[in-house]
Structure 1
């Protein structure tokens, strides 16, 4: 089975990386610290991206150690550190009053500095302890960026450099890979939030009817036939989700979604569905898992949410994978696979390792 090509993105300069942060994360970060692994010749290739909320006072060192452990799983040659925050400039803690007015005026005022230097300091120390240098440390605020280490007026408080606008190579690659940029993480979760109102009631009723037929087929003792029929249903639904004029603007009817949901309760069908993430229909399958997760009643939403998490993770969208795994674990808190995937994602297992694990698991099951 051929793997879909994974684009190699090399970002040119600091401003381009600042502009690319939302595409690297899948949503626009706010009050966040972001670490970008830099790999390849000269450290120009973007690798793993790790994000966390800015810590409260006194918690920067603990957060820095946690993020450093996660990032080194990507074996970076260097790291770009970005603080995304609307916090205003602060007074330098080690300076009381400095003269900045014209000589002889007698006026004195405190020297302002960029915010969150304590977070940057702890991250530099934590990464240095693991022999990973921080190439640059940025503040991104209000459409501009600053370099924490730059001594020139362009990076002084109140100055900054505009974040580049327009489509970047990374944005184009993200769109081609099926990513859709969300304004924030809540909007990301809203894409697969459960349906409500009459639509949800109609879907639940359809799932009950389909479930009775599914149970009757299982009771007939033809388990292999049920699995084959279920796999065929999933394959047909994936084909209906492929991009193109024949499928543009179409919406799978409730009856078809219900059939897919019940088919995914069969382990063999679920395994075959997992294999779709490794092939040329990966994007179409992700569309189907998204639609099924959004419209499925509990607990039928667990399987498609897990499959959605795997699809998103394999294309490097950890944010969507996390949101989908939250949905899967809420559907069935005792389910083992979503919890194992969540642990792997928290440990920043690279998509390539997950891909290899899935491939080896499917080959073992086939044998």
Structure 2
């Protein structure tokens, strides 16, 4: 049985085609799209239902990708309508529906035995591909939004099947091997610096502190010391002065996270991470840090937010996780944005900004809209 249903937008690097940094990918045939699902999501999906928006002339261009855990049968209709609503925001020409599952073929309860020659008895009912009921609900939900399903696939054990294909290649027990080699999508993802995760849990592990991390105690100690100093300087110098110092510390840390040979093997000292974490507790510092995602240091800022989120102790991890979500979202990585927002909301369930971002991501707000919103907010702050 599938675990808790996790639904929402998980569309990475090529997911939204309206952002200049994101390459436009046109995939060739059905097998190529099926093989590309991990790159569309940023991780290898398991026991998942995936909708791929097909845009452009004739629906030849990959657009938004949405995913959810396979639901229990009672929740299939509700999930189908939810996901159909999300993918419809991309205004697709058509949708490719894929079920990724290791479930075996099934014999439905109402399947009839097949008679053979008179007096020779019956053959047992033929098995069918699994999860047909879910596929049926998805097709109905998409049809209600006038979105045609170009193909409905099962992806399993390195093969793919078309649920509607009548030929032997798509019979249970057969299947077509997924194409090998480097696809255009995989090449584009690697060129963009993407590292494919083994699964969603592995994606979350990239920003989750390890229980046996020998450096955890050092960061915790540095955060205690930095917290005392932060409080003392607030009392002595006032909020404006401390915010200016914190902003300078963030800027310097971002500079040391820029890609290049001088920073490739650099690990920020615990004390510097601690100062950045405490600085980000000031809303004005965090708000200015949002602007880094719009400039030439966007990649370096994302490295810093990732490092700070991974190393931050509880109660200080919310702000960097929120900033990481914004950075990931702006480059089209909805999977990492979702993971980071879950971390931010776990740190502070009542925090307004991560909840607002989570709502926007669930509504499939494209990166261009988020970029415009951040830019407008920064302009208002500067004018005020």
Structure 2 length-normalised TM:
0.89
- 1:4, 1:279 within 8 Å by CA — same for their partners in 2? no
Structure 2: any 5+ residue segments left out of the alignment?
A: 1-18
- What pairs up with 1:1-367 in 2 under 5 angstroms? 5-92=21-108, 94-99=110-115, 108-196=123-211, 198-367=214-383
CA gap 1:73/1:206 in 2 versus in 1, 3 angstroms = same
Q: 1:360 to 1:176 in 2, by over 3 A?
A: farther
CA deviation after TM superposition for structure 1 residue 195, in Å: 4.1
The separation in 2 between residues aligned to 1:227 and 1:103, in whole angstroms, is 89
How far apart in 2 are the matches of 1:352 and 1:71?
Answer: 17
1 CA distance for matches of 2:255 and 2:118?
75
1-structure distance, mates of 2:54, 2:41: 15
Query: For 1:24 and 1:278, how far apart are their aligned partners in 2?
Result: 23
Aligned-residue offset at 1:301: 0.8
CA distance in structure 2 between the aligned counterparts of 1:316 and 1:156, rounded to whole angstroms: 37
Structure 1 residues 179 and 225, CA gap change in structure 2 (3 angstroms) = same
Q: CA deviation at 1:229?
A: 2.5
Shift of 1:107: 5.3
Indicate conservation of the 8 Å contact 2:154/2:163, yes or no: yes
Alignment coverage as a number of residue pairs: 364
- 1:93 Cα deviation from its structure 2 partner: 5.1
Contact 1:47–1:76 under 8 Å retained in 2: yes
